[in-house]
Amino acid sequence: MPEFVTFSRNVFIPVTNICRNLCGYCTFRRDAGHPEAHLMSMSEIRPILERGEKAGCTEALFVFGEYAEEVPEYLLELEKLGYSTTVEYVADLCKLAIEIGLLPHTNAGILNRKELEILKPLNISMGLMLETTAELKAHSESPGKKPSTRIEMIRTAGKLKIPFTTGILVGIGETKDDRKRSLNTIADIHKEFGHIQEVIIQNFMPKPDTPMADHAPPSKEEMIDTVAIAREILPSDVAVQVAPNLIDPYSLIKAGASDLGGISPTTIDWINPEAEWPDVIELQKMIKEIELRERLPIYPQHIKKGWYSNNLSYLIETLTDKNGFKRKQR
């Protein structure tokens, strides 16, 4: 059992839900023209960030559908905001978050090197789920889910020394051997570049009105087994993360998990909107006798390495304690 388990407090901003991918399990994505399709304006986002900062959050999590620019209707909406690409817009949103006092973490799907270079100075960390190295039916209409494409982006982030989150999705048609291959791939990339902070072991949750609505989720035993395999395969400086709004974490901590990811006191989980975040008191009850320790969206080892830009130095100095974790509020 670990001495302590970590988590962070975030504000979850779904910048746009228009996406070129059509994954078999996703309810986040919307087609342009759908009543729920959106591109959030800066005036909508600012008060959400401000509420999060006042509630003690340290992370602004910016999530958006992949390459929405391929959709003409989306481009028109983006141009109304004064931008030609989503990355340019998100760069300004990151600046806004920093101004308000939050550390940006962008998860945007596939980004090329130039796009990563634009966002790196404005993000304390970034992320992309590998999901799996297997070619699956769930991803047959999702060009951005091609394993080699995702691996290349994770490697590029390593070359740029971007503290990074990745992970696998368990129960979408992959085998146990597929999971091992995926985890070994992540481990090999980290051994080369040293940038992966955490690997999420996320359990698939079937959702209504999706092609995989009747697909069974992984069992608790499968999740325990996968976490144990992850802990065995991954280097010791890479945290194994599980989502406490999707599964009871205690047995997974006993199997090797050491992080509970980001929870939000002010926003919902837009990827799994049916799954409410636990608050910090509930989180402590869930992990029983284990100490719960709050961190930032950058881990202490990457703070010590100085893997952040001058744009973020003041916030790091303000928010961290001497060990690189979240400074306790007085």
The annotation status of 19 as a binding-site residue, yes or no, is yes
Residue given tokens 């399709």 in the structure block: 37
Angstrom distances, CA of residue 119 to CA of 62, 114, 123, 317:
12, 9, 6, 21
Determine how many CB atoms are found less than 10 A away from the CB of residue 12: 22
Question: What is the token pair recorded at 295?
Answer: 């961190």
- 317/113 Cα distance (integer angstroms): 29
Do residues 223 and 250 make contact, with C-beta atoms less than 8 angstroms apart? no
Q: Is 94 annotated as a binding residue?
A: no
With the CA atoms of 219, 245, 34 and 25 taken in that order, what torsion angle do they form, in degrees rounded to the nearest 10?
-20
The type of residue at 121 is P
Q: What DSSP character marks residue 150? A: H
23 marked among binding-site residues: yes
Annotated binding site for [4Fe-4S] cluster: 19, 23, 26
**Sequence ranges of the binding site:** 19, 23, 26
